[in-house]
Structure 1
Amino acid sequence: MKLKFKHVLPTLTTCFLSLALTACGSKGSETPEPQTEPSTPFDYQALIENAVLGELPGVVLYIDSPQLHFYSAAGIADQEENAPMQIDARIPNGSAGKKLTALLAGMLAQEQRLDLDKPITAYLAPDITDHIPNASIMTTRQMLQHTAGLFDYLNDSNGAFYDAVIEDPDSIKMDEFALQFALDKPAHFTPSQGWRYSNTGYILSGLILDKVLGAHHSGAMRSMIIEPLGLTSMSYGGVEQNLGSITSGYFKNEDGMLNTRPFYQNIGVADAPVVGNAKDMADLLKIIVEGALLSESTHQFLMADDHFIPTGINGLQYSAGLFKEMINGKHVIHHGGSELGYATYNFYVVESKTTVAMLVNCNGYKACDDAHDALYQKVVNELTK
């Protein structure tokens, strides 16, 4: 749910070329073509195993491209049980799941059931919109693209949402619960007059999806996206607990190490809707970027060049649920997630058709955050050489 931008500085790559120029001495001999010295494959297994020797409890890394397939885990999934991390570990995807909310909105727009450019007052009742500044001129498209100027119920509320979750871990927390931390809060700007990441826009979009569908949008997300695309590990957080448990996640504060699984198993919100494994995360991003399994209009809504908006942050652009930037000269589409106890990294390198997901079961304190950020940078630098 909470946004963390991940930027990578370019690295220098060195290519070693061996020229084997042999003179045969006989008439008609030819100089052989220069030969490229075989490169040693990068050892991703050693990379993740070294990472869990430090602050990180466990890591899952999935990489798939025409040239490379890697899927492995290292470390511990549960510290109390000393259970090893498994490749099919299911963790909250955090904001990496925003792409599903945006994808569902695009599908409903294609079916003409949702008008992305109508004011949100056309869908939501006054008991909500009267407490949202600029609601009469704010659209679903703007909320999905973070150009609505909304107060962020997570990043702008000084931890109020998390405090409320910890005080009441057992009840299901859905969009209505999260929205209370953004009502009657000032806007950052008039809609379309800037860009600022706000989880509140996705909460409101979730409520609009419910209105359009006449039921909670988790059902449509399953029937229109999760099942047709074969994302067998994915389920809607909180709402679909019966479909599988989530791996333990760890957050450290002044009271010591806290396992956040009891809290997150009861959270199901449209700004961070799903739990799932690394393979499904990577496969979904590949499907969205490449577009073969989507309608043309839905694919264009998510991926058209003119739908990516400059964020004003180091060349970073944003469409609906997706960031785009250049890393080491390569086009990279990405969106990760950051929760208390869980971090996800999800990116696609366009030039090499490489899709990647990395899951970590700690987050929210400096030692862990620095460790998984460093691990991500090594992976993305290697894959964008």
Structure 2
Amino acid sequence: MSASSSPRDINMKVNNLFSGMIIGSLALAITGCGSEHKTNNDLLSEPFDYQALLNAAADGEIPGVVLYIESPQFYFYGAAGMADLNDKTPMPIDARIPNGSAGKKLTALLAAMLVEQQKLDLDQSISNYLPAEMTSRIDNAASMTIRQMLQHSAGLFDYLNDSNGAFYDAVVAEPDSIKTDVFALQFALDQPANFAPGQGWSYSNTGYILTGLVLDKVLGTHHSQAMRKQIFEPLGLHSLSYGGLEKSYGSIVPGYFHTADAVVNTRQYYQNIGVADAPVVGNAEDMALLLKFIVEGKQFSHSIHQLLMSDTSFISTGLGSLLYSYGLFKETINGKQVIHHGGRELGYATYNFYIPDTKTTVAMLVNCNGYQACDDAHNALYQKVISELTQ
């Protein structure tokens, strides 16, 4: 952070950009300094020079980038550019960043596991799980189900997009305190609903915040412990950790945002945020494998896979042909079905998608986000990657 810019000054310049970052996440090398690591399937030659693509991106507006691609026919894992602009540290392929809303699939997966264990009923009102002093301050709580919250059909006021930057004002004001679901929920209490539960579709991070609190109630402890014991460790996803609460599992790389007169390293804010709508910190490989495991379903029971991935689980968003299940979107891109959900935070972007036709799983991480030059650059990079993989 520039010495000439106070946290409050910076926050005033950026808090109105967050809505664009959240909505944007719905759709889907520095010469001599950058790292260039790649491994290809021995059976096939590389169909496209992804490393050159990464190098070119990191020669432009993007500080650093990591790309992981895996299919039965092809494998690529590469990085370019820098993880840290101050000490010129090259971007490693195992870089860990806050993955934003790409982590919603973890909250949904844990909920599905608890359903199978008969500890959770998705069609129960949230009033059956949460205290009256909380639900009395949430419109339609008595008729709102956990399923609706997970599918964004509950009509909830969004504590991020609808609060005019209040959450981020609070984060910047106290960067060193841990922010969990209870902290985030305060920015959605006593706010009007967008519609009655089940009567529409509107992306709301608040639904996942409330789901996190329900999971805590069911488990009798914070749900991060169950994520570790039931998901991270059994699946061998060793880079994944719960944001803010599991710092001992590794640090995150700096994330960069540009204002008119400062380059802001946003890591100081995100290392203390741990919320169920954006729960996870991790590397590209593990995010790609997590999505693969959920879509293919081989790591889970049939009932869990059906709950998350059956055709009837995906509902209309009202946004063209875009469908939404539990933490995942589905749409047709270039004639091929794509399952996806990315994540955008101030200073970080995650792209995460799976192409069933070719069994291709992909994750791309970038350590800048929230300003036009960077956003345009990493979106163009994503468009090139997905174009190559869906042609």
Q: Is residue 25–residue 101 contact of structure 2 (8 Å, CA) maintained in 1?
A: no
- Which runs of structure 2 are paired with 1:281-360 in the superposition (5 Å)? 281-360=287-366
- What secondary structure sits across from 2:248 in the alignment? helix
Q: Is residue 345–residue 376 contact of structure 1 (8 Å, CA) maintained in 2?
A: yes
Q: CA deviation at 1:158?
A: 1.3
- Which runs of structure 2 are paired with 1:63-78 in the superposition (5 Å)? 63-78=69-84
Aligned-partner Cα distance in 2 for 1:142–1:366: 34
Aligned-partner Cα distance in 2 for 1:288–1:6: 18
Aligned-partner Cα distance in 2 for 1:229–1:40: 28
Q: Is residue 149–residue 211 contact of structure 2 (8 Å, CA) maintained in 1?
A: yes
Q: CA deviation at 1:251?
A: 1.1
Q: CA deviation at 1:39?
A: 9.5
Q: Runs of 4 or more off by more than 6 Å in structure 1?
A: none
Report what 1:167 is aligned to. Answer: 173
Q: CA deviation at 1:4?
A: 1.9
Q: Which TM-score applies when normalising by structure 1?
A: 0.91
Higher helix residue share: 2
- Which runs of structure 2 are paired with 1:25-44 in the superposition (5 Å)? 41-44=47-50
- What secondary structure sits across from 1:62 in the alignment? strand
Aligned-partner Cα distance in 2 for 1:116–1:44: 42
Does 1:2 find its partner at 2:8? no
Q: Is residue 317–residue 324 contact of structure 1 (8 Å, CA) maintained in 2?
A: yes
Q: CA deviation at 1:313?
A: 1.1
State which of 215, 224, 241 in structure 2 corresponds to 1:218.
224
Q: Describe the shift of the 1:203–1:40 C-alpha distance in structure 2 as closer, same or farther (beyond 3 A).
A: closer
Q: Is residue 156–residue 193 contact of structure 2 (8 Å, CA) maintained in 1?
A: yes
Report what 2:198 is aligned to. Answer: 192
Q: CA deviation at 1:41?
A: 2.1
Does 1:201 find its partner at 2:203? no
State which of 54, 58, 66 in structure 1 corresponds to 2:64.
58
The residue identity in structure 1 corresponding to 2:22 is K
The residue identity in structure 2 corresponding to 1:318 is Y
Aligned-partner Cα distance in 2 for 1:193–1:346: 29
The residue identity in structure 1 corresponding to 2:180 is M
Q: Is residue 106–residue 298 contact of structure 1 (8 Å, CA) maintained in 2?
A: yes
Does 1:235 find its partner at 2:241? yes
Q: Is residue 25–residue 343 contact of structure 2 (8 Å, CA) maintained in 1?
A: no
Q: Describe the shift of the 1:40–1:357 C-alpha distance in structure 2 as closer, same or farther (beyond 3 A).
A: closer
Aligned-partner Cα distance in 1 for 2:300–2:344: 28
Q: Is residue 25–residue 344 contact of structure 2 (8 Å, CA) maintained in 1?
A: no
Aligned-partner Cα distance in 2 for 1:5–1:281: 15
Aligned-partner Cα distance in 1 for 2:46–2:188: 52
- What secondary structure sits across from 1:351 in the alignment? coil
Q: Is residue 66–residue 364 contact of structure 2 (8 Å, CA) maintained in 1?
A: yes
- What secondary structure sits across from 1:2 in the alignment? helix
- Contiguous gaps of at least 5 residues in structure 1: 9-37
- What secondary structure sits across from 1:333 in the alignment? strand
Aligned-partner Cα distance in 2 for 1:69–1:41: 10
State which of 127, 151, 163 in structure 2 corresponds to 1:157.
163
The residue identity in structure 2 corresponding to 1:4 is G
Q: CA deviation at 1:243?
A: 1.0
- Which runs of structure 2 are paired with 1:83-98 in the superposition (5 Å)? 83-98=89-104
Aligned-partner Cα distance in 2 for 1:248–1:3: 23
Q: CA deviation at 1:162?
A: 1.1
Q: Is residue 241–residue 282 contact of structure 2 (8 Å, CA) maintained in 1?
A: yes
| 1:3-35 superposed Cα distances (whole Å, 9 cap, x missing partner) | 424657xxxxxxxxxxxxxxxxxxxxxxxxxxx
Q: Is residue 3–residue 95 contact of structure 1 (8 Å, CA) maintained in 2?
A: no
Q: Is residue 26–residue 341 contact of structure 2 (8 Å, CA) maintained in 1?
A: no
Aligned-partner Cα distance in 2 for 1:113–1:4: 34
Q: Describe the shift of the 1:6–1:186 C-alpha distance in structure 2 as closer, same or farther (beyond 3 A).
A: closer
Q: CA deviation at 1:2?
A: 2.5
Which structure has the larger Rg over C-alpha atoms?
A: 1
Q: CA deviation at 1:40?
A: 7.5
Q: CA deviation at 1:255?
A: 4.1
Aligned-partner Cα distance in 1 for 2:45–2:113: 44
Report what 2:9 is aligned to. Answer: none
The residue identity in structure 2 corresponding to 1:371 is A
- What secondary structure sits across from 1:197 in the alignment? coil
Q: Is residue 97–residue 271 contact of structure 1 (8 Å, CA) maintained in 2?
A: yes
Report what 1:274 is aligned to. Answer: 280
Report what 1:134 is aligned to. Answer: 140
Aligned-partner Cα distance in 2 for 1:56–1:217: 34
Aligned-partner Cα distance in 2 for 1:77–1:91: 10
Aligned-partner Cα distance in 1 for 2:281–2:197: 31
Q: CA deviation at 1:67?
A: 1.0
Q: CA deviation at 1:314?
A: 2.3
Q: Is residue 123–residue 211 contact of structure 1 (8 Å, CA) maintained in 2?
A: yes
Q: Aligned pairs, how many? A: 356
